[in-house]
Amino acid sequence: MNNNNLEEKPINFIRHQINDDLDSGLHSAIQTRFPPEPNGYLHIGHAKSICLNFGLAQDYKGKCILRFDDTNPAKEELEFIESIKNDVQWLGFNWNGKVRYSSDYFAKFYQYAIELVNKGLAYVCFLDAQQTREYRGTLKQAGKNSPYRDTPVAKNLLLLEQMKQGKFLEGECVLRAKIDMASPFMCMRDPTLYRIRFDKHHQTGNAWRIYPMYDFAHCISDALEGVTHSLCTLEFQDNRRLYDWILEHLEDFNKASRPHQYEFSRLNLKYTVMSKRKLQQLVERRLVSDWNDPRMPTLSGLRRRGYTPNSIRDFAERVGISKVDAMTDMKILEDAVRDDLNVVAPRTMGVINPIKLIIENYPKNQIETLKAPIHPQNKAMGEREIFFSKELYIDKADFAEVSPNKKFKRLAIGKEVRLRNAYVINATTFDTDSNGNVSTVYATYDPNTLGKNPADGRKVKGVIHFVEATQAIEAEFRLYERLFTLENPSKNEHFEQLINPNSLIIAYGVVEPNMQDVAPETAYQFEREGYFCRDNESADDLVFNKTVALKDTWGLGRG
Ligand code: ATP
Ligand code: MG
């Protein structure tokens, strides 16, 4: 074992492999990479990969590189590059050295393609897409050799050069590896290495008319950078053959210390979609406000919702690394954030659906200042001032004319409750508005119950929260539920029709005056309501996003 803090981490098959490779002396240090394609914002699935790659580099005192896999000029945007860098740093990781791009190596890829052509291991093929499909065969049936497979090397070199110069049209020809049209692995049936694209590339402009395929670019990029363990998700399992084939057939890389690929299972979360393509559809069809809508499983959405980097790293630990495909319960993510926020979030009171409460026996025009702990379990966090007067706000849900059952620990006519951090009150009567809804409740308070139980031994079980009316400030609350009504919406062709209509509910309430200037993204616990943070896109208004409920209510459909 090379490092002490490794012992705290659960061992998984990748760590076993690394330990073996270090023990055998194959590598003296490890290097990993996180290779996002800049075609969307990062999601919680990427966080699993980031925590794995950067986490291993940290634990083994190795290096982890951030490399943008930008081999497809058409789909990629600078906006995504910036957001990805931002999200990786927000999660608490730093990449080694400068940010890399696959496009940094375009000239080298081309030289390696020439090497394969020279060795008779690659050829330019003019079959069209339809023919290529027919020649490829099926899982049950071997493919057929392309008629261009035996073009002499010299001619292939010329054709490749002409492809590069833009002498052919998009789709007219491709460069293919010459491997085995009867291989049981479809990816080994003379896969495409280069295709023609006339789009402008965000890094290289119009310098290139041909672009390498992912399978060709990825292994060579890993090898050029000195990556030792190239970690990817299970759908690339078959492609490992091609990864190995390419590196073994290039002189620079055909050695034991070359990179090796290992696959682990993707993270799938219930009640959401994860692929960037699907997330993009949600944005484009305006089914969510943007990539950072707090209902999105993107890192920017989770951040806006109030998730902390700590909670997401902890979640990645909890789900672990394996080769088993599974749908992860949203509860695991929510438990992680709840456990983090329970420790760090200051407590405050906010009334989400306010009704008035008039304390009949409290003097008019008097405002009392009371002290309340910022965190009842952590006295070191200090105290805050709250106010009390004749007019307060309480939540509509905390009052019933008649106590509906014995478990009801809230306010009802003739039933006492404690106002949190203040006095015991007893409701006397109430008013309704023109719709018959309760608008004002009247009560009396017991002045001898501040911080103590009633002197005559009366038992008061319920506690409800409140905000003093004259000092209260108005706030908007955004309450979220699961985004989809189905556990696995991706399976449905029209997944956008499965959006939960209650996934966002907006309420207008009141909060304590000291909440006026709180910073965006900072977590608070609104006592009895849940964890919230101020929205980072509504700087001028006081808007709070509900991160998660205090207890697990996921089964009830509420987040
Ligand atoms: P998507 O389908 O969401 O676009 P992707 O795999 O195409 O995902 P990339 O940008 O190519 O996205 O991925 C960068 C890295 O993140 C890859 O190594 C990929 O395997 C990993 N990754 C992507 N999605 C997940 C996931 N759901 N769970 C774990 N790792 C993931
Ligand atoms: Mg992709």
Query: Counting atoms of ligand 1 from 1, which one is nearest the CA of 231?
Result: 18
Q: Which of 12, 41, 44, 46 to mutate to test the pocket of ligand 1 (most atoms within 8 A of CB)?
A: 46
Between the CA of 37 and the centroid of ligand 2 the distance, in Å, is: 6
Ligand 2 geometric centre to CA of 40 (Å): 9
Angle CA 45–48–50, to nearest 5 = 110
Q: What is the pLDDT of residue 494?
A: 84
Catalytic residue among 276, 384, 390, 478: 276
Distance CA 122, CA 115 (A): 9
CA of 36 to the centre of ligand 1 (A): 7
Q: Is 7 one of the catalytic residues?
A: no
What count of other Cβ atoms lies within 10 Å of the Cβ of residue 169? 9
Give the position of tokens 């996180």.
34
Q: Measure 88 CA to ligand 1 centroid, in angstroms.
A: 14
Just give the CATH number of 350-465: 2.40.240.10
The torsion region of residue 71 among left (phi > 0), alpha (psi -120 to 50) and beta comes to alpha
Check residue 1 and give its pLDDT: 39
Check if 45 has its Cβ closer than 6 Å to any atom of ligand 1.
yes
Beta-sheet strands, E only, within 2-92: 31-34, 63-68
Bridge partners of 192? Answer: 176
Q: For residue 332, what are its two tokens?
A: 């695991």
The domain made up of 276-346+475-548 has a fold known as: Glutamyl-tRNA Synthetase; domain 2 (1.10.1160)
Residue 279 CA: which ligand 1 atom is closest? 3
Instruction: Confirm whether 276 is a catalytic residue.
Output: yes
Amino acid at residue number 76 = E
Quick one: which ligand is closest to 320's CA? 1
Locate the domains of the chain by residue range: 4-264, 276-346+475-548, 350-465
Q: Is the CB of 38 under 6 A from ligand 1?
A: no
Given the residues 266, 278, 318, 558, the one annotated as active site: 266
> What is the pTM assigned to this prediction?
0.94
d(CA 435, CA 99): 61
Question: Which residue is closest in CA terms to ligand 1's atom 7?
Answer: 37
Cβ of 266 below 6 Å from ligand 1: yes
Q: What Rg, from alpha-carbon coordinates, does the chain have?
A: 31
Out of 49, 227, 302, mutate this one to test ligand 1's pocket (max ligand atoms within 8 Å of CB): namely 49
Rounded CA-CA distance 535/544 in Å is: 6
What pLDDT score does 559 carry? 38
Cβ(37) – ligand 1 distance below 6 Å: yes
Q: Which ligand does the CA of 232 lie closest to?
A: 1
Which ligand is located closest to the Cα atom of residue 38? 1
C-beta 390 within 6 A of ligand 1: no
The pLDDT of residue 8 is 64
Q: Do 76 and 202 meet the contact criterion of CB atoms below 8 Å apart?
A: yes
Are 92 and 50 a contacting pair, CB within 8 Å?
A: no
The CATH topology of domain 4-264 is Rossmann fold (3.40.50)
Q: Is 37 a catalytic residue?
A: yes
How far is residue 15's CA from residue 163's CA, in Å, rounded to a whole number? 43
DSSP 430-499: EEE-TTS-EEEEEEEEEGGGTTS--TT------EE--EETTT-EEEEEEEE--SBSSS-GGGSTTGGGGB
Which of 215, 229, 233 to mutate to test ligand 1, by most ligand atoms within 8 A of the CB atom? 233
Bridge partners, 387 (sequence order): 369
Atom of ligand 1 minimally distant from the CA of 266:
28
Q: What is the pLDDT along the chain (559 residues), one digit of tens a residue?
A: 344 455 567 789 999 999 999 999 999 999 999 999 999 999 999 999 999 999 999 999 999 999 999 998 877 688 999 999 999 999 999 999 999 999 999 999 999 999 999 999 999 999 999 999 999 999 999 999 999 999 999 999 999 999 999 999 999 999 999 999 999 999 999 999 999 999 999 899 999 999 999 999 999 999 999 999 999 999 999 999 999 999 999 999 999 999 999 999 999 999 999 999 999 999 999 999 999 999 999 999 999 999 999 999 999 999 999 999 899 999 999 999 999 999 999 999 999 999 999 999 999 999 999 999 999 999 999 999 999 999 999 999 999 999 888 888 999 999 999 999 999 999 999 999 999 999 999 999 999 999 999 989 899 989 999 999 999 999 999 999 999 999 999 888 788 789 999 999 999 999 999 999 999 999 999 999 999 999 999 988 999 999 999 987 655 444 3
Asked whether 276 lines ligand 1 (CB < 6 A), one says yes
252, two tokens: 């620079």
Q: What's the 64 CA to ligand 1 centre distance in angstroms? A: 16
